[in-house]
Amino acid sequence: MAKPIIEVQDISKCYQLGAIGATRLRDDLERVWHRITGQSEKADEKEFWALRDVSFEVQPGEIVGIIGRNGAGKSTLLKILSRITEPTSGEILMRGRVASLLEVGTGFHGDLTGRENIFLNGAILGMSKAEIRNKLDEIIAFAEIEKFIDTPVKRYSSGMYVRLAFAVAAHLEPEILIVDEVLAVGDASFQKKCIGKMQDVSQGGRTVIFVSHNMGTVQQLCSRAIVLQRGQVQIIGSTAEALNVYSKSSAAKSGYVDCQPIVREGSGDVRFSSLRILDAAGNLNTDFSMGDDLVLEVSLKRQRPVNTIRFSIHISTIEGIKLASVIDFDSGFSFKNPDEKEVVRIRFKDLRFYPGNYLFSLWIGNAAGASFDTFDKLDDCLQFEISNGGNLTTRNLPKSSGLLFMTPEWERIKI
């Protein structure tokens, strides 16, 4: 049997919260003095373990997914695999060249053109100019930026950046390709092309490590998956097994979430403090029938003064298929000058989803024109179930029937 192309043995990563990155010289001098005199440092300087004793192996030609909620340790693990950061403890053995696509612009020099960056990335991977030239036309065609290939990449849009970065990473033939959620920046047709390319890479004997919140893509692409939870491995197994475990742990099925301990994105100007799913009578509930009303209750806590809050609610299937994006102003709702504590209720009338399990993701922030400031963001934070057809139909409704149940008006016209 071939040796694993990746061996990860008991990897841990610890960050010192409050002890690194201080902005004042006084803070640095105080820490030095504390160490010289043997005094204890400030109480708020504590350890945060982003990863704890993570171990796994990956075979050549595998496509392995890494999934988990925000703060689970996915990005930290990818940075360690990409040699961007060193683990606090543990060992990694990588048998091959690694190309990483972790965030927009990674590995690119903004002042160089797209063409020059292709040669730069190839050189970093240890390829000769002749090898890069052989792939050049194919990379440019895949990225669909022929007209801009001799333009400095600092003038590229985020979508152009991602297209070129993925094309370079996938075509310069690294033995190991590491791809983060950054592909979500691209449009749907490009994402589909990237998935096909990653499948081709795998069939050619190369290995792909893929991180995504889109469970449908993970299911389609990956043969195995690793679920991380709070920096530790929850399960390593087939994609179906991993997705089943993740779906049970990723979203609260009780209908209530205390958001305070959750690690998430955003400035924190306004935070979600708790979430509840209620039925039409105002009772905590997660089991609904088609045609029922569902109420999402959102409790907010303002940390700093803000003028206006914008809301975005996303509903997806348990497999990660997006069904709807709900924006507050589409319903004529405007939220200005929030108090320190607020509660907002959003009523979804006459649910028409087929039987199955569904997830809410929530975003609050500030939007001015095309720019957005994120205050808080929670992915797959609440789960609810549609279990039957209610009063809308008497027929049996298997989950394979579709996603949206529709009852159009029918008319018979005699000729």
CATH number of the domain where residue 325 is located: 2.70.50.60
Same domain, 155 and 116: yes
The number of beta carbons lying within 10 Å of the beta carbon of residue 243 is: 25
pLDDT of residue 43: 43
Same domain, 216 and 291: no
pLDDT of residue 150: 93
Nearest Cα to Cα of residue 227 among 77, 378, 385, 373: 77
pLDDT of residue 149: 92
* pTM, entire model: 0.63
Same domain, 118 and 155: yes
pLDDT of residue 126: 75
In this structure, the dihedral spanned by the alpha carbons of residues 335, 341, 347 and 351, taken in order and rounded to 10 degrees, is 110
Same domain, 120 and 209: yes
Same domain, 207 and 267: no
Same domain, 235 and 333: no
Query: What is the number of structural domains in the chain?
Result: 2
**Residue 79 within any structural domain of the chain:** yes
Same domain, 229 and 303: no
Given a cut of 50, the residues of the chain with pLDDT beneath it are 20-23, 41, 43-44
Same domain, 286 and 221: no
Same domain, 148 and 261: no
**Residue 148 within any structural domain of the chain:** yes
Structural domain of 372 = 256-401
Structure tokens at 363: 């975003």
**Residue 415 within any structural domain of the chain:** no
**Residue 11 within any structural domain of the chain:** yes
Residue with tokens 């009338």: 349
**Residue 33 within any structural domain of the chain:** no
Can you give the three-state secondary structure of 279-309, one letter per residue? CCCCCECCEEECCCCEEEEEEEEECCCCCEE
Same domain, 276 and 389: yes
pLDDT of residue 103: 65
Same domain, 325 and 300: yes
Same domain, 338 and 386: yes
